[in-house]
Amino acid sequence: MTDKTDSQQPKIYQAPMEGVIDHHVRELLSTVGGVDVCVTEFVRVTNTRLPRRVFTRLCPELLQDAETTTGTPVRLQLLGGNPEAMATNAIKAVSVGAKAIDLNFGCPAKSVNNSDGGACLLQSPHRVEAIVGTVRRAVPEGIPVTAKIRLGFNDRSSYMDNAMAAAAGGANELAVHARSKVDGYKPPAYWEYIGEIRQQLEIPVIANGDIWTLKEFQRCREVTGCSAFMFGRSLLARPDLGLQIKAYCSGENYLPMAWQQVLELLWGYYQTTREVYPAKYLGNRIKQWLAYLKLAFPEAQLFFDKIKRLREAEAIEILFFQERRGEQEKFEAA
């Protein structure tokens, strides 16, 4: 039994990660459990109305009531700087099946910022308010419009201005990554700013940034006072982190995933995606995920060292067979 319990279960969000968390990973994470809401990679909006296929390609869950097969809701994320175009495409997304629209004001990528999208918009809080407000007015009242921001662009001084702008525009929820664009992903995350935002806003505030472990969750909750948390890289490093947190908060015993269980997830993910990506990229998604897993599992680094140069399906599958058999033998001998 844990030393401390909390009857209020936190709400766990999967953070959008461009080029990393696609619908295959969303399906996997929601199957593991502990995730209450998923968010897609961004749909880039310019000045035209995008066709249906753009939305369903990035979010095939739109074809199944905007949920994963386990029933976890999936929010469609839009990125762009033109309020009218964002609204037009939000309407289109809803017509395709979106049940919630998320707006990206947090992406720090140079290519995105140079194209008038993501975190660069934080330099002008009035633009944040205009985009949120135009989208909010365009879509039906029952469709949540949410936003994600960073603490600023060149520095963190505009954190409250942008948070207030998103709320003034009518955002139903606000996720805050506790760094500026210039901070990138370098530690630390400045959770205290999120706490100040939460105290000022009447809408739910979701804390995001550097919550890698159960202890860091406890500390983030203490600093921010939030009851909702968003996990990106840390959820890839520990796929059951949401389950760990929820067990802790309900006072239940929980044994975190062992490497043997994670290896089975990897094998299932490989099988699911093997036919989806071009042969020359075979195994790349597994290698990408291992880069995060090795932050929590030393065995992931060893496995990565073995698989990193493999390109042929037969060689990759033989390696998986050997590793899975070895882990099973260790388990039976224990």
Nearest to 159 by CA among 190, 116, 202: 190
Q: Return the structure tokens found at 186.
A: 């370098």
Cα–Cα–Cα angle for 82, 25, 57, rounded to 5 degrees: 45
| Spatial distance between the Cα atoms of 82 and 191, rounded to a whole number of angstroms | 30
| Spatial distance between the Cα atoms of 104 and 146, rounded to a whole number of angstroms | 9
Q: Extract long-range pairs of 161-166: CB within 8 Å, 24+ residues apart.
A: 161/125, 162/105, 162/122, 162/125, 162/128, 163/197, 163/200, 163/201, 163/205, 164/125, 164/200, 164/201, 165/125, 165/126, 165/128, 165/129, 165/132, 166/105, 166/128, 166/129, 166/132
Catalytic residues: 107
Would you say 78 and 54 are in contact if contact means Cβ atoms under 8 Å apart? no
Helix 83-96 / helix 125-138 crossing angle, nearest 10 deg: 40
Residue 324 CB contacts under 8 Å (≥ 6 apart), including other chains? 263, 264, 267
User: Which helix (H) or strand (E) segment is 27 a member of?
Assistant: helix 23-32
Q: How far is CA 161 from CA 80, 129, 197, 321, in A?
A: 20, 10, 10, 54
